């Protein structure tokens, strides 16, 4: 529980009017609103989860909000990152978020940390705040945030989303578990698809983000029954909530310092393996592919290894859809073998080149079919060959 000196906090006439619906709640009242005004919250990320929680924390009267982000607003963000608007596309997310926060609550102090959170800066940034809210979307930053909160004894309000499912809990609060109790080891790189690969229902971010905001406010108010020790799982398609108990692992390693979290999660190793794989693989540019497609050549086969819904968005003329998951399970391998009869050359593409390289490696290793990877995939095709092809 946070224990500010409430005698030093004054509510203004504007505060009484602005927060009147809080003030008449016995569970909040004047003292509770003073706690909110005295509190400082650091939000790591101002994207899908950060957007709704920042809006509600600002509206609730949090006195100081810190933002950590280094990204810019993209059109693809607007489907779920509701703190940003079309006029902010191409501009820094934290500037966009600050503008919206101050529009909601001009009396909130907004601190901007336009940087990538790292082992070098995390402790310095986090130490100045009462509570940390994790709105990140990658494992290295989640482990980093967790470990820094443990070292500094800060509550860590956690949420994550993917497709139609989300989860939320509170870590490192009043002796409760931390992130390493839920995930002692990170999954292998690439095993868990990102939202950019698998998609996410926009409103799911709002549900999980507002739950994070709710838990943050409860901690500030000193209310019981937080999600500490409980992992809340939500399925939007089924409209069902369920809960799992979390307990501290008595034999978990003691966190004594921050480490190299990219290394811990196997990112450099995976990138090196991917680079070596692509170095040993024949590649072609999208302009070379266009020239081939425009020629009279018929000694090649072009396959698209993206998912069917991606193919429906955009496709390259003449490409045959064989999704990577089908190649990974072996079901698509025989289809490829049928296509490359009579010595035809195999060419593969995906969204940006990674999945097609993986598919070609599988085909080479399993049935000895070598192929050529299209650099940059259909994203490069849209940017360099045909701008009418939608990007996503």
pLDDT of 192 reads 77
pLDDT of 277 reads 66
- Per-residue CA distances from 344 to 70, 275, 338 (Å): 46, 26, 10
pLDDT of 327 reads 96
pLDDT of 274 reads 72
Domain ranges of the chain: 39-270, 281-384
pLDDT of 188 reads 87
pLDDT of 273 reads 73
pLDDT of 1 reads 63
- Classify domain 39-270 at the CATH class level: alpha beta
Contact yes or no for 117/144 (Cβ under 8 A): yes
pLDDT of 137 reads 92
pLDDT of 321 reads 98
pLDDT of 348 reads 98
Residue 13 φ/ψ, nearest 5 degrees: -60, -40
Hey, which residues are catalytic here?
A: 195, 350
Which ranges constitute the DSSP H helices of the chain?
13-18, 20-23, 29-38, 50-60, 93-104, 122-126, 139-152, 179-182, 195-198, 202-221, 261-264, 267-279, 286-294, 308-313, 324-329, 333-339, 354-367, 377-384
Rounded to the nearest 10 degrees, what angle do helices 377-384 and 286-294 cross at? 80
CA distance 338 to 342: 10
- Classify domain 281-384 at the CATH class level: alpha beta
pLDDT of 195 reads 78
CA distance 172 to 231: 13
pLDDT of 278 reads 66
Residue closest to 213 by CA, chosen among 392, 62, 31, 20: 62
pLDDT in tens, the chain (392 residues): 688 889 899 999 999 999 999 999 999 999 999 999 999 999 999 999 999 999 999 999 999 999 999 999 999 999 999 999 999 999 999 999 999 999 999 999 999 999 999 999 999 999 999 999 999 999 999 999 999 999 999 999 999 999 999 999 999 999 999 999 999 999 988 777 777 778 899 999 999 999 999 999 999 999 999 999 999 999 999 999 999 999 999 988 899 999 999 999 998 887 777 777 666 799 999 999 999 999 989 999 999 999 999 999 999 999 999 999 999 999 999 999 999 988 899 999 999 999 999 999 999 999 999 999 999 999 999 999 999 999 99
Contact yes or no for 132/42 (Cβ under 8 A): yes
Task: State the greatest distance between any 2 C-alpha atoms of the chain, in Å, as a whole number.
Answer: 85
pLDDT of 275 reads 72
Half-sphere exposure of 259 (CA within 13 A, CB side): 14
CA distance 314 to 108: 44
């Amino acid at each position: 529980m946070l224990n500010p000196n409430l005698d030093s906090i004054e509510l203004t006439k504007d505060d009484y009017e602005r927060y009147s619906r809080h003030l008449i709640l016995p569970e909040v009242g004047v003292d509770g609103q003073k706690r909110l005004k005295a509190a400082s919250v650091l939000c790591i990320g101002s994207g899908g989860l950060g957007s709704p929680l920042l809006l509600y924390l600002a509206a609730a009267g949090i006195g100081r909000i810190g933002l950590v982000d280094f990204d810019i607003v993209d059109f693809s963000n607007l489907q779920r990152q509701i703190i940003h608007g079309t006029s902010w596309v191409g501009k820094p997310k934290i500037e966009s978020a600050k503008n919206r926060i101050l529009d909601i609550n001009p009396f909130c102090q907004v601190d901007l940390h336009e940087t990538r959170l790292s082992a070098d800066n995390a402790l310095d940034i986090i130490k100045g705040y009462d509570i940390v809210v994790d709105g990140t979307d990658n494992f290295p930053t989640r482990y980093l945030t967790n470990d820094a909160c443990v070292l500094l004894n800060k509550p860590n309000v956690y949420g994550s989303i993917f497709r139609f499912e989300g989860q939320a809990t509170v870590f490192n609060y009043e002796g409760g578990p931390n992130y390493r109790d839920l995930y002692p080891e990170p999954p292998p790189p690439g095993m868990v698809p990102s939202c950019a690969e698998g998609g996410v229902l926009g409103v799911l971010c709002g549900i999980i983000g507002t739950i994070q905001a709710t838990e943050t406010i409860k901690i500030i108010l000193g209310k019981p029954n937080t999600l500490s020790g409980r992992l809340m799982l939500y399925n939007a398609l089924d409209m069902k909530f369920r809960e799992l108990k979390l307990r501290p692992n008595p034999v978990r390693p003691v966190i004594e310092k921050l480490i190299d979290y990219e290394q811990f999660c196997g990112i450099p190793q995976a990138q090196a393996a991917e680079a070596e794989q692509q170095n040993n693989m024949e590649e072609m540019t999208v302009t070379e592919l266009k020239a081939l497609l425009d020629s009279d050549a018929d000694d090649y086969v072009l396959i698209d290894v993206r998912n069917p819904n991606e193919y429906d968005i955009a496709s390259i003329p003449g490409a045959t859809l064989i999704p990577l998951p089908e190649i990974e399970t072996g079901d698509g391998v025989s289809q490829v073998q049928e296509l490359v009869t009579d010595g035809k050359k195999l060419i593969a593409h995906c969204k940006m080149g990674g999945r097609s390289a993986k598919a070609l490696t599988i085909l080479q290793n399993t049935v000895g079919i070598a192929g050529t990877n299209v650099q940059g995939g259909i994203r490069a095709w849209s940017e360099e060959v045909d701008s009418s092809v939608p990007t996503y």
